Amino acid sequence: MSKALLVIDMQEGFRHKPSEAIVNNITELVKGFDGKVIFTFFVDEPGSMFEREINWPKFQSSDMQKLFKELEPIERGRIEVKHKGYTVLTDELKNILKENNIDTVYLSGIYTDVCVIKAAMDLFDEGFSTKVVADACASLHGDNNHKYAIDSLKHIIGKRNVVNMNNDSKQNSNNL
């Protein structure tokens, strides 16, 4: 079996200090990762629930949907998957994971307290060994929300499945 790294929604529309702060960790993680690397992209459409219920049509613009320019040079056979809701676990992504015999999925990106936590729960429910790389994730809702989400994830998917690149002597980008 194999592993995959999901880089969740590192898009220009989500460019803020917290997301910029994890770009170097994500770059290092991707370069040292021994497995499939999949970038997810949130795409909104006119009339979506985001527009109707929370008056948020921001991601209907292609400029907002672009990958961070700092991550563009990362090619390494990357795979790109679009999603239209909170979950990144679309049928397309499930098929990619299945076709590549992926059994372990590492998560990085933004929002820790929204898409990352949703992805972790969905992958867990689908039977994938799920790992969250805490220092390669951030929340635009603030550092406390990131910390609370990481704490919750330790209960949701298991403490040993929340790892750090830089602060855990047992884990780093070269042996994830």
Query: Which tens digits make up the pLDDT trace of 59-95?
Result: 899 999 999 999 988 766 789 999 999 999 999 999 9
Identify any residues that bridge with 41 across adjacent strands, giving them in sequence order: 82
Contact 140, 111 (CB under 8 A): yes
CB 165 within 8 A of CB 29: yes
The candidate with the shortest Cα–Cα distance to 136, out of 34, 2, 36, 18, is 18
**pLDDT above 60 (res 100):** yes
Largest distance between two CA atoms of the chain: 47
Encode pLDDT of 104-131 as tens digits.
999 999 999 999 999 999 999 999 999 9
Q: How far apart are CA 145 and CA 164, in angstroms?
A: 17
Rg (CA), the chain: 15
Residue with tokens 């809701």: 85
Instruction: List domains and CATH numbers for the chain.
Output: 2-163 (3.40.50.850)
> Is the pLDDT score of 169 beyond 60?
no
Question: Each residue of 9-63: pLDDT tens digit?
Answer: 999 999 999 999 999 999 999 999 999 999 999 999 999 999 999 998 888 999 9
Round to whole Å and give the CA distance between 33 and 13. 26
